[in-house]
Each structure stands twice: as C-alpha cells, then as structure tokens.
Amino acid sequence: MMADGAPTSWVPGMADFRFKWRRFYDEARPWGENLPEISRGKHLIPVVLFVIALVATYFILYYPPRYTLALWVTLAGLVFIFKEPFWGIVIFYALAFIRPQDIFWGLKDLRLSLMVSGATLLSWLWDRLKRSDWRIVMASQNILILGLWGQMGLSHLFALAPMISEESLIDYSKIFILFFLTINIVKSFSLYRALCWVIVASLGIMALRGVYQYGISGYPFINGPGGTIEDNNHFGLALVMAVPFAYYLILVEKDWWKQLLAVIFALGMVIAIMATFSRGAFLGLILVLGGIFLRARKKLGLLLLGIIFGLGALAALPSEYYNEISSIKSYEEDVSSMYRLYAWRAGWEMIKEYPYTGIGLKHFEHITAQYMKKFLPAGEKNMAAHNSYIHLAAEAGIPALVFFLALLGFSLWGLKRIREIAPRRSPLIYFSYMIELSFWGYIASGFFLSMEDFELAYLLMAMVVALKGIVINKHVLRIGPWKGRDEGYSWT
C-alpha cells in the first residue's frame, strides 16, 4: 500500500512511476523562495504598454486600416497570453484550424501564428522565472521531437534551394515549440478538456461552414479555410481526426447543452467529410467510425443510429460522389490516382539520390517533373507526393522519417501504457481511445495525403504526454491539479 492508502500491487512498476512523478511535482524550487525583483512584475505593465504603443503607432502610420485592426486584435490576445500561457495554446490552434487571418482579413503575410507562438514561449519563460522553477516534463517524445527538429535544420542547410525551405523550417519550428509548451502547460484535466473543445469547436465550426457552402451556396465540393488544411483533401483529413474528439466529448460531458453541441459538431463533420469528395478522407472516416463502433459499449444503439444516418446520406449525396469513391477500386483507369503513383515513384527516386538530408523542405512540388522524366516519356508534371511518409523522407531524409514514425509509435504505446496505469473503470481511458482513433485516422489518410506538417498530428503527440501526467497525478500520486474545480466531476 502507498502512504495515502492507494494500492500499488496491481500495476507493475508503480513504485518507479510514483517516485519519478512525485519528484517532479514535489521538489523544492531550484532557485529558492527569494525571487529577483524584476520577476515580481513591478515594472512589467508600463514597459508592455510602452512597447505596444510604439508598435501600434508604426502600424497606423505605415499600414492600411485592416492591418491596424488585426494588430489590435492580436495585441489583445497577447495580453491574455501573458496573463496565462494556456491562452497562447488556445489562440495558436484556433488560428491554425479556423484561419481567420485568411477568411476575414486576408493577412497571411502578418504571420499571426508565429507571433502567438513566440508570445506564448515568452509568457511561459516569464512564469517560470517568477516561480523560480525550471523543471520540465521529460518524455521520449521530447527527444524524438528534438531529433526531428535537428534533421529539419540539416535538410534546410543542405537543401537544393535554401530560400524555398526557410519558410517551412519556421513553420515546423513554431509547431515544435507549441508541442513543448503544451506538455508543460496542460497539466490539469480542466485545461485538457478545454483543449479538446478547442479542437472540436474550431473544426466543427469550419465543418458547418462547409456544409452551408455545399448545401445552400451550391459549391461543387468544399475546401478548408486555409493554411495546412486549405485543400479539400487535407480539410477532410482534419475533420476525420476531429470526429473521435466530438464523439467522446458527448460521452464525457454532463451538461446537456454541451452534449448537444458536440452532437451537432460531430454530424457536421461527417457530412463535411463527404462534401470534400476526398477518397483518402473517406477511407479514414470508415476506419474511425469502425473503431468507435468496436469500442462502444452499446453497439446495437450505435449501429441503429449509424444505419439511419447512412440511409439519409445515401439519399442526399449526388451520383458524382459515388463515382469519385468507386474510382478507388479502378484506380488504373483514373488519371489522378495514377499520377499519385507516379509521384510516389518520383519520391522514391529522390530518397535514393538524397537519403540522408533529403532534397530540402518544400522542394517536392517544384522538382517532381524532373524525376518523372526517368520513367515517363511525356506527361510529367510537378505535384505533391500525396503520401506523408514518402514526402517527408524525400524532403528531409530517411532519418526524419525514422524520427516521425518513432513519434507515432511511442505515442500509440504511451496510450496503451495509460490504460495499464489507470484503473479499469477510469473515465480518462475514454481520452486514450479518443486520441488513438484520431491517430489511426491520420495514419490511414496520411498514406494518401501529404500532411507530415499538420499541426493537429503533433498536438496529438503532445496530448499523449499530457494525458499520461494527468492520469499519474490522479490515480498514482493523487496530488496536484485534481484539487478544486475538477474534484467530484461526474462521468457517464
């Protein structure tokens, strides 16, 4: 028995987990209790206001009004970020999935997400300085992310055209920074659940927007809002990964209006996936829905609901959708499918020629035709690989692919380990299933799409580490963030 009465014999290695994580949460502050004067924030507000005033004046004098409006909105967000670093995570992923800078403002060149990631990092560092506590969460994923980051840097240094890869390296860097910050900030269930709602609400709103465009405005198919998920295929994959989040929030939430909201988002996502006319997203959706069915306790009710919804979808979908999906079986006759196979072969030629550092980030789409000439006498063209794994290995080298696959493998193993640590009836197991199904949707659809740089994939990896810490806190150490508003939270 542990000191607090919790049994330890039912989980092998429980004593090691208890020692490791209690040491992380209970050690004294390494720099003592006497904080430097500057860390108390005595002069912080005047300095911040002065800097904001200078930047605002510059934008007002030299930029159009919409840039100034975007600036003030961003600065308002930065105030929340510096008050609480978690807001930086929320704003970053909302910008990544909703892309308001593309939809409403047309301000891609402002790089708002880069500003938010930098502000979040500074806010977290300031918080660490005030607490005189520089401990960080250590996990296998940290080491692998650093290895992948380093390989990306080597790919940029040895790229065929470094100027092309520079922007991509910056995008990867901000994603990896947010990965690190997520696992070090999201340490309570309330924050974890809020992050799940950010994913569901952001992509759910975009799904409903797409359904409106397709059903009311008469779009032939729907695209994403912009950024990484601008393409219809990429948007479909993002929605596939979000479906498990919406489903399990229906089971977890106790308020009826939250459950209803999750149902609306889930239905909107499924309809929007079909309206993207993406074959890869369709395969991912089948896999995710199958996994949900196998994990469900009340399989009969879920099956009846699925049949009703499926019959309604069959009646509403146009014949063009069935023609698009049925082309999976006869891919030899489909020009688009064959060119994807040609792109895979071209990627293999790139990997053989540049196995260690790759051709350079964002180079694949610029030189595909040169490699297609080796086996296509005519008709070669530049295009994406339409395969995340080939694309990554061709652009950043085989070591990058190894790091990436290891990240996926360790994340899936971590979810299995979470289910071993948590008691059999722990509701937190729902969240391990949620992330696992989202991973499988990404792995399956990612085989047909170039989504190796998708923010949500790396967020899932970070959420695995965060969930493991929360499970250990609640069921092993029974300390920390579970005191307070999360105590007594009901589960169904």
Answer yes or no: is pLDDT of 338 > 60.
yes
pLDDT at 7: 45
Please state the length of the chain: 492
What is the per-residue pLDDT for 422?
Answer: 78
Q: What is the spatial distance between Cα 263 and Cα 276, in angstroms, rounded to a whole number?
A: 20
pLDDT at 2: 45
Compute the average pLDDT of residues 210-227: 86
- Among residues 264, 193, 213, 206, which one has the least CA distance to residue 235? 206
Confidence (pLDDT) at 50:
72
The set of residues, in sequence order, having a beta carbon less than 8 Å from that of 174 and lying 6+ positions away, is 92, 113, 114, 117, 118
Please, which residues have CB within 8 angstroms of residue 399's CB and are 6 or more apart in sequence? 147, 151, 356
Who has greater pLDDT, 34 or 59?
Answer: 59
Q: Is the pLDDT of residue 18 over 70?
A: no
Distance CA(119)–CA(44), nearest Å, equals: 15
Neighbours of 424 (CB within 10 A): 7
| More confidently predicted of 429 and 308 | 429
pLDDT of 34 = 42
Mean per-residue pLDDT over the chain, rounded: 80
The pLDDT score that the predictor gives to residue 331 is 52
Burial profile 57-76: b = 16 or more Cβ within 10 angstroms, e = fewer: eebeeeeeeebeebbeebbe
pLDDT digits 0-9 by tens, 92-129: 999 899 887 776 655 666 677 888 888 899 889 988 88
Query: Is the pLDDT reported for residue 307 higher than 50?
Result: yes
Write the CB contacts of 342 (distance below 8 Å, at least 6 apart in sequence): 372, 375, 376, 380
- Residue 105: per-residue pLDDT: 57
pLDDT at 294: 85
Q: Which residue has the higher pLDDT, 243 or 216?
A: 243
As given in the structure block, the two tokens for residue 316 are 């509403």
**Per-residue pLDDT tens over the stretch 139-185:** 889 999 999 999 999 999 999 888 889 989 999 999 999 999 999 99
Alpha carbons 459 and 446: distance in angstroms, whole number: 16
- What pLDDT is recorded for position 396? 95
* Inter-CA distances, 353 with 356, 358, 389, Å: 9, 8, 17
> What pLDDT does 86 receive?
93
CA separation for the pair 457, 473 (Å, rounded): 25
Q: Of 418, 345, 413, 356, which is closest to residue 385 (Cα–Cα)? A: 345
**How far apart are the C-alpha atoms of 25 and 254, rounded to whole Å?**
30
Distance CA 273, CA 266 (A): 11
Highest mean pLDDT among 65-69, 144-148, 314-318, 370-374: 144-148
Contact 438, 245 (CB under 8 A): yes
Q: What DSSP string runs through 395-415?
A: HH-HHHHHHHHHHHHHHHHHH
Q: Per-residue confidence at 375, pLDDT binned at 50, 70, 90?
A: confident
Predicted local distance difference test score (pLDDT) of residue 483: 39
Those residues with Cβ within 8 angstroms of residue 294's Cβ, 6 or more apart along the chain or in another chain: none
The answer to whether 192 and 182 are in contact (CB under 8 A) is no
263-267 long-range contacts (CB < 8 A, ≥24 apart) are 264/204, 264/208, 265/200, 265/201, 265/203, 265/204, 265/205, 265/207, 265/208, 266/204, 267/309
- Which uninterrupted H or E stretch holds 74? helix 65-83
| pLDDT value for 335 | 66
**DSSP assignment, residue 332?**
G
User: Which tokens belong to 78?
Assistant: 């930065």
pLDDT at 168: 92
Task: Give the pLDDT confidence score for residue 277 in this predicted structure.
Answer: 87
